């Protein structure tokens, strides 16, 4: 099955951008996913192709117009489209691996990228846009957020990652941060690889890795452990 991503943006040239490379790029070429950037400006009707206007009630900046964005959404995702409609927005649910896993199960996603101060609330309500944030900071537009979300999704599509196992031991997949990694050379600037890793004892290695992951999570992200026990 192909994951169909439609991205509504004022900057369609930003897609697939970095996702045209490496694993995601190969997956795109294979047709594991499709990337359809749509220019919101194509749905403006006045002679200046205006997509934004001043905020009602006053204040700084501009707001993406509901009528223009509404038309763009309807053209890309008519009623009955089974795909979730997402709006990249700092006010949204914070993107996490659990949400990424949910998205991978869908037929794709319609992703709206905001610009300026954001989008008219009526189009969020009227078209059932689900707001998704990539973290507690403000970007200048939703495009990089959309690319981030798509990267996280695409690498989990069946067949995209060469070594499927590597997907299951990543940070967050088991509620923990990942253990440290080492590779050749055996010694670098006087630092050696922990002996256990060269012992060949896989049971002991797994135990060591789990302990490391637990200790790292406790130190850096105790909130992840709280989540686990509260569930
Ligand atoms: N005035 C808004 C921020 C607008 S930033 C506010 O204070 O909430 C312009 C656009 O960038 C947003 O519409 C959104 O699409 C995108 N954006 C900014 N920060 C983001 C974040 N952390 N996650 C996802 N999208 C973000």
- How many structural domains are present in the chain? 2
Same domain for 123 and 19, yes or no, is yes
Same domain for 85 and 42, yes or no, is yes
Rounded to 5 degrees, what are φ and ψ at 9? -155, 160
- Which residues, 6+ apart, have CB-to-CB distance to 137 below 8 Å? 90
Residue to mutate, 118, 135, 147, ligand 1, most ligand atoms under 8 Å from C-beta:
118
What is the per-residue pLDDT across 121-134, written as a single tens digit (0 to 9) for each?
999 999 999 999 99
* In a domain? residue 160: no
Could you list the residues known to form a binding site for S-adenosyl-L-methionine, using ranges. Answer: 114, 134-139
Long-range interactions of 92-95: CB distance < 8 A, separation 24+? 92/130, 92/131, 92/132, 92/133, 93/130, 93/131, 93/132, 93/133, 94/133, 94/134, 94/135, 94/136, 95/132, 95/133, 95/134, 95/135, 95/148, 95/149, 95/152
Q: What's the pLDDT at 168?
A: 65
Same domain for 210 and 108, yes or no, is no
> Is 69 touching ligand 1 by the criterion CB < 6 Å?
no
* In a domain? residue 178: yes
- How many CB atoms lie under 10 A from the CB of residue 122? 13
Same domain for 22 and 132, yes or no, is yes
DSSP class of 119: B
What is the per-residue pLDDT across 163-189, written as a single tens digit (0 to 9) for each?
665 656 788 988 999 999 999 999 999
pLDDT at 144 over 70: yes
> Is 115 touching ligand 1 by the criterion CB < 6 Å?
yes
154: nearest Cα among 95, 81, 103, 89: 103
Q: What's the pLDDT at 231?
A: 47
pLDDT at 160 over 80: yes
Nearest atom (ligand 1) to Cα of 138: 19
Cα separation of 159 and 104, whole Å?
Answer: 12
What is the per-residue pLDDT across 50-79, written as a single tens digit (0 to 9) for each?
999 999 999 999 999 999 999 999 999 999
* In a domain? residue 164: no
What is the per-residue pLDDT across 20-50, written as a single tens digit (0 to 9) for each?
999 999 999 999 999 999 999 999 999 999 9
Q: 105: domain range?
A: 3-154
What is the per-residue pLDDT across 196-216, written as a single tens digit (0 to 9) for each?
999 999 999 999 999 999 999
Same domain for 86 and 178, yes or no, is no
Distance 182 CA to ligand 1 centre (A): 38
């Amino acid at each position: 099955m192909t994951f169909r991503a439609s991205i509504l943006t004022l900057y369609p040239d930003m897609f697939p951008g970095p996702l045209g490379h490496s694993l995601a790029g190969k997956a795109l070429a294979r047709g594991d996913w499709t990337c359809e950037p749509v220019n919101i400006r194509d749905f403006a009707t006045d002679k200046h192709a205006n997509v934004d206007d001043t905020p009602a009630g006053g204040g700084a900046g501009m707001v993406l117009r509901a009528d223009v964005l509404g038309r763009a959404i309807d053209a890309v995702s008519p009623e009955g489209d089974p795909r979730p409609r997402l709006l990249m927005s700092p006010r949204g649910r914070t993107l996490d691996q659990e949400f990424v896993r949910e998205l991978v199960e869908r037929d794709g996603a319609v992703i709206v990228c905001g610009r300026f101060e954001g989008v008219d609330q009526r189009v969020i309500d009227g078209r059932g846009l689900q707001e998704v944030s990539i973290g507690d900071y403000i970007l200048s537009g939703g495009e990089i957020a959309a690319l981030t979300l798509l990267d996280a999704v695409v690498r989990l599509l069946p067949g995209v990652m060469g070594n499927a196992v590597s997907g299951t031991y990543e940070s967050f997949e088991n509620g923990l941060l990942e253990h440290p990694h080492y590779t050749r050379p055996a010694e670098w600037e006087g630092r050696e690889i922990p002996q256990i890793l060269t012992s060949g004892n896989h049971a002991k290695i797994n135990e060591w890795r789990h302990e490391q992951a637990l200790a790292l999570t406790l130190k850096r992200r105790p909130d992840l452990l709280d989540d686990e026990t509260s569930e």
